């Protein structure tokens, strides 16, 4: 850390900070500049040192040097991680596709979608059984019945089931059915939930919160990694900005940034990332071009009849066409896509 003192800070204030640094078990180095003094704190300490120092008298600000996360970092593990669940392989050169409806609605619906996305090349089936909905008046999901239908679809197609869990006490139930447990964007910083899903040892798809920085995103992953579960898939699904022509803003530069920063695989959700069916396909192709390890896409046999998210769902033929384009781009760039 670098502690920047205010101009005119006193010798006592500087000595005091130096002492604080030593008490933290860190070394210090004082740098006297033209206008102000700067103190370097050397050594590794990630818990609260910055916060403690920046309240010191005479301190203007504290600049951290180390990334705040550790186990997620490429500094700790250089080789990219591949997360697998049944036939779904994501990361370390493997591009995996997860597709399916926003909500599981009926046996017919989920089996029909499962068939069509498997045929198009998906290896994972998404589908919400417990749905976090902005309004309490919206459809909240089929709950356990939905999980049973997902299991049935897996039996028929071999697809890995990816489904969301919303509270720690629901983890055991969802874990009975899911191959990959999803932590939704609204719950990215729901720490008891992160710890609970981590304990299951199942692969976890962690969605970025719509106002999370990269550090916050990777620290949320770190909560899971810290339980001993290293099977974390990061998911970029768009951030909240002033833009109003899309539902969220999909910042694809997070893909190459994360490839350089973490060993964890990163998938992109162009459905939530745009919120408009006619923008999903170009953004899926762009995500692959940017280096994404996978995609998660909403597909519905009849979007107009979907109980949720129909406006951003692809029909099975549109999804098939999208996958074909993604595959061409992946091949052009020398990557493997199932």
Q: Which of residues 63-82 bind its own copies (CB under 8 A)?
A: 63, 65-66, 68-70, 75
Q: CB-wise, 88 or 171, nearer to its own copies?
A: 171
How many CB atoms are located within 10 Å of the residue 8 CB? Answer: 10
| Lookup result for tokens 């749905």 | 131
204 contacts its own copies (rule: CB under 8 A)? no
Asked if residue 320 binds its own copies (CB under 8 A), the reply is: no
What radius of gyration, in Å, describes the C-alpha atoms of the chain? 23
By the rule CB under 8 A, 48 interacts with its own copies: yes
DSSP-derived secondary structure letter, 170: G
Long-range pairs, 240-249, Cβ under 8 A, ≥24: 240/210, 240/211, 246/273, 246/274, 246/275, 246/276, 246/279, 247/272, 247/274, 247/275, 247/276, 247/312, 248/210, 248/272, 248/273, 248/274, 248/275, 249/273
As measured in angstroms, the least distance from the Cβ of 68 to its own copies is 5
139 binds its own copies (CB under 8 A): yes
Q: Of 39-47, 143-151, 155-163, 175-183, which part binds its own copies (CB under 8 A)?
A: 39-47
The span from the CA of 283 to the CA of 269, in Å, is 9
Q: Show the site string, 260-299: x = touches its own copies by CB under 8 A, - = not.
A: x------------xx-xxxx--xx-xxxxxxx--------
Q: What angle do CA 64, 70, 72 make, to 5 degrees?
A: 125
Q: Does 190 bind its own copies (CB under 8 A)?
A: yes
CB nearer to its own copies: pick between 54 and 115: 54
d(CA 25, CA 23): 5
Candidate ranges 83-91, 105-113, 146-154, 310-318; the one touching its own copies (CB under 8 A): 310-318
Render 187-204 in DSSP notation, one character per residue. Answer: GTT-HHHHHHHHHT-S-E
Question: Residue 205 has which token pair?
Answer: 């798809």
Q: What is the DSSP letter of 293?
A: S
Among 88, 110, 150, 166, binds its own copies (CB under 8 A): 166
> Shortest Cβ distance from residue 57 to its own copies (Å)?
7
23 interacts with its own copies by CB under 8 A: no
Q: Which of 120, 142, 146, 223 binds its own copies (CB under 8 A)?
A: 223
Q: Which of 25, 119, 138, 176 binds its own copies (CB under 8 A)?
A: 138
Write down the least CB distance from residue 88 to its own copies, Å: 23
β-pairing verdict for 204-207 and 124-126: unpaired
Binding to its own copies by residue 141, rule CB under 8 A?
no
Residue 172 interacts with its own copies (CB under 8 A)? no
- Give the shortest CB-290-to-its own copies separation in angstroms: 4
**Size, binding site for its own copies by CB under 8 A:** 111
């Amino acid at each position: 850390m670098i502690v920047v003192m205010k101009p005119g800070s006193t010798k006592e204030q500087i000595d005091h900070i130096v002492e604080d640094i030593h008490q933290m078990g860190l070394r210090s180095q004082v740098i006297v500049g033209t206008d102000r003094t700067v103190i370097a704190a050397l050594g590794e300490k990630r818990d609260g040192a910055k916060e403690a120092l920046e309240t010191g008298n005479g301190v203007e600000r504290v600049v951290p040097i180390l990334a705040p996360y550790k186990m997620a970092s490429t500094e700790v593990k250089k080789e990219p991680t591949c997360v697998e669940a049944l036939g779904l392989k994501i990361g370390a050169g493997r591009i995996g596709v997860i597709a399916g409806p926003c909500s599981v609605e009926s046996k017919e619906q989920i089996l029909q979608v499962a068939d069509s996305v498997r045929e198009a090349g998906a290896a994972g089936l998404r589908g919400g059984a417990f749905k976090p909905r902005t309004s309490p008046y919206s459809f909240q999901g089929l709950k356990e019945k939905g999980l049973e239908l997902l299991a049935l679809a897996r039996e028929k197609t071999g697809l890995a089931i990816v489904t969301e869990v919303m509270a720690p006490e629901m983890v055991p139930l969802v874990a009975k059915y899911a191959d990959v447990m999803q932590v939704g964007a609204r719950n990215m910083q729901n720490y008891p939930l992160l710890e609970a899903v981590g304990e299951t040892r199942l692969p976890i798809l962690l969605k970025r919160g719509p106002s999370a920085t990269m550090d916050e995103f990777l620290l949320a992953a770190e909560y899971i990694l810290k339980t001993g579960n290293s099977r974390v898939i990061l998911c970029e699904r768009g951030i909240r900005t002033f833009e109003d022509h899309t539902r969220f803003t999909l910042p694809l530069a997070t893909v190459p940034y994360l490839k350089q920063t973490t060993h964890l695989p990163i998938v992109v959700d162009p459905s939530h990332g745009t919120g408009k069916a006619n923008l999903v396909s170009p953004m899926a192709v762009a995500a692959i071009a940017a280096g994404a390890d996978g995609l998660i896409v909403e597909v519905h046999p009849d979007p107009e009849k979907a109980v949720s998210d129909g406006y951003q769902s692809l029909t099975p033929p549109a999804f098939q066409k999208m996958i074909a384009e993604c595959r061409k781009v992946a091949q052009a760039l020398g990557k493997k896509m199932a």
